[in-house]
Amino acid sequence: MSALVRIRLAGFLRTGRAVAPLLAGLVTLGILYGGGRAQPAEAYGVSAVVLFPVLAWQTKILLDVEPDVQRRLAQVTVGVARERFAGLLAAGLAALVTVAVALLFPWPVGGVSGPVDPGDRSIPVGLALGLWAHLLVVPAAVALGALASRASAGGAGYGVAVLALGGVGAVVLGLTGSVAPWLAPPLMATARTTAGDAAALTVLGLSGWALAWSAAVFGGYLWRRRAQG
């Protein structure tokens, strides 16, 4: 299956379609960190929120690059389950590369600072919380992007609608006082946690929430793929 993951990633990179989401991510991060310095955990929490739609879009592009007939050829060769898992794995790996860029980005541009006040978190703790916040976003974004992909959504219009609704809904439903925060991945709650008191129980709870949401959306993706044939 690693060969199929490689061929998927190679197709994504060689078509040049990886450039658009990468540029969008860099521009967004540039705007985010252009306003001044912040504590790492706080800055990374917001970075994870803004990266969510970018990673979902990147996933959709990666999965859509492969022609439908080529995807079927892969199914015949390795089986349906492996073909689907290989696509998700390739998207996950691509998302991790983007996350790595996002984690490194603020340091050369001076977007983050070390502890200033006595109560500020140390840089390693801030980095760890930032890494956690970004890793929480990866499965949720890959799941949303997969659900919006052509093989799942069918028509291009449906895919864009899923992506837009998912991206906007994740922010709107995550606002404080939302009536149905559980309908969205806990991006906003994670950002609030990294900026405030990150108790272990809260971290565990948000991790479970993010994984459960991702699992539900992955389930939807697999169901749609099955229905699409």
Partner 1 sequence: MRLENVWLRYHRRGPWVLRGIDARISPGEVAIVLGRNGVGKSTLLQVAAGVLRPGRGRVTDRPARVGWVPERFPADQPFTVARYLTGMARVAGLGRAAADEAVHSWTDRLGLSAFRSVRLPELSKGTAQKVGLAQAMLRPPGLLVLDEPWEGLDAATRELVPELIDEVLAAEGAVLVSDHRGETVRLPAARRWLVADGALSEEASAADETIAVIEVAVPAARVAGTVARLRAEGHQVLRVRSDAANAAPQARPAEPPRSAGAARPAEPPLETAGEPTAEQPAATDAVVAPAAGEAR
For residues 156 and 150, the answer to whether their CB atoms sit within 8 Å is yes
In the complex, least distance from residue 164 CB atom to partner 1, rounded to whole angstroms: 25
Rounded to whole angstroms, how far apart are CA atoms 80 and 213? 24
Return all residues near 176 (Cβ < 8 A) that are at least 6 apart: 188, 192
For partner 1, the closer of residues 20 and 199 by Cβ is: 20
For partner 1, the closer of residues 201 and 227 by Cβ is: 227
Rounded to whole angstroms, how far apart are CA atoms 115 and 208? 29
> What would the two tokens of residue 57 be?
């879009």
In the complex, least distance from residue 11 CB atom to partner 1, rounded to whole angstroms: 6
For partner 1, the closer of residues 122 and 228 by Cβ is: 228
CA atoms within 13 A on the CB side of 218: 19
The residue ranges that bind partner 1 (CB under 8 A) are 3-4, 6-7, 10-11, 14-15, 66-70, 72-80, 226-227, 229
For residues 146 and 222, the answer to whether their CB atoms sit within 8 Å is no
Return all residues near 170 (Cβ < 8 A) that are at least 6 apart: 52, 53, 140, 144, 184, 185, 187, 188
In the complex, least distance from residue 5 CB atom to partner 1, rounded to whole angstroms: 10
Q: Which of 151, 43, 135 is nearest to 95 (CA)?
A: 135
In the complex, least distance from residue 80 CB atom to partner 1, rounded to whole angstroms: 8
For partner 1, the closer of residues 70 and 122 by Cβ is: 70
For partner 1, the closer of residues 77 and 122 by Cβ is: 77
In the complex, least distance from residue 227 CB atom to partner 1, rounded to whole angstroms: 8
